[in-house]
Amino acid sequence: MRSFWVYGALCVAIQVLSGCGSNPVAENKTETQQMAKVTQYDQLVVAFGDSLYAGYRLAPQEGLAPVLQAALQAEGINARVHNAGVSGDTTAAGKARLAFVLDSLDRKPDLVVLGLGGNDMLRGIKPTETKANLTAMMDELKRRDIPVVLTGMLAAPNLGADYVKSFNGIFPDLANAYGASLYPFFLDGVVTDPALMLPDNIHPNAKGVSRVVEGLSPLVEAALKQQDDAVLEK
């Protein structure tokens, strides 16, 4: 995990407090136009996160949402994956916009893939605040009866053992509390391989996103199948 420690140390050292991101509107505009072409779909997945979700410095079809959508469709799952990633988002920002995003959709999502917290860690925000914000989002999704797949993040060790322990425990604790599926570390198997990362050593490149989707898509497929089965049982 040496590259991950480099990742964490670099982020903290250079004070990437904008959340390792750029202009989310410019970043997502073309991709949104592309995704809108998928007008006939059976299930809707919302990918709700930060720059790791938004497709930072990637071509329109190389971000998490379009690659995950392609993977699902390759498995015969006619799903649209809506990109709700915003570069720079903290959990507080995510909590503030979650209801608006959900209310702006043309239908209730069948699943939300939720991945926030990395920018909280970079800013040194207290893990108790991060957990409270994520809990509020999980409560909102539970209230709307929308299942969740959580993607976790790990804290850089130079933040101290107490911080690391508290932060790293947030995601498994929430997954257990809400019965959500958990992909423990979004950059698992990616951040340790320079060939899968952008030159900033923070964000995955196109190949890295594909690797993430290889690990994540089975959880998403299983969650969508569970939804299908629940509908058939009614």
What is residue 7's predicted lDDT score, i.e. its pLDDT? Answer: 52
Domains of the chain from N-terminus onward = 2-233 (3.40.50.1110)
155-205 pLDDT, tens digit per residue, is 999 999 999 999 999 999 999 999 999 999 999 999 999 999 999 999 999
Q: Which residues contact 38 (CB under 8 A, 6 or more apart)?
A: 69, 80
Is the full-model pTM beyond 0.75?
yes
29-58 pLDDT, tens digit per residue, is 444 444 445 568 999 999 999 999 999 999
d(CA 28, CA 65): 11
pLDDT at 117 over 80: yes
What is residue 31's predicted lDDT score, i.e. its pLDDT? Answer: 46
Of 188, 186, 208, nearest to 198 (Cα)? 208
9-18, 33-42, 73-82, 144-153: least confidently modelled range: 9-18
- Catalytically active residues, by annotation: 51, 200, 203
What is residue 158's predicted lDDT score, i.e. its pLDDT? Answer: 95
∠ Cα 210 211 214 (to 5°)? 90
90-101 pLDDT, tens digit per residue, is 999 999 999 999
What is residue 63's predicted lDDT score, i.e. its pLDDT? Answer: 98
Rg (CA), the chain: 17
196-209 pLDDT, tens digit per residue, is 999 999 999 999 99
Q: Which residues contact 65 (CB under 8 A, 6 or more apart)?
A: 31, 35, 47, 53, 55, 81, 82, 83, 85
Query: Cβ(41)–Cβ(146) under 8 Å?
Result: no
Q: How many CB atoms lie within 10 A of CB 14?
A: 12
Kindly report the average pLDDT of the chain as a whole number.
88
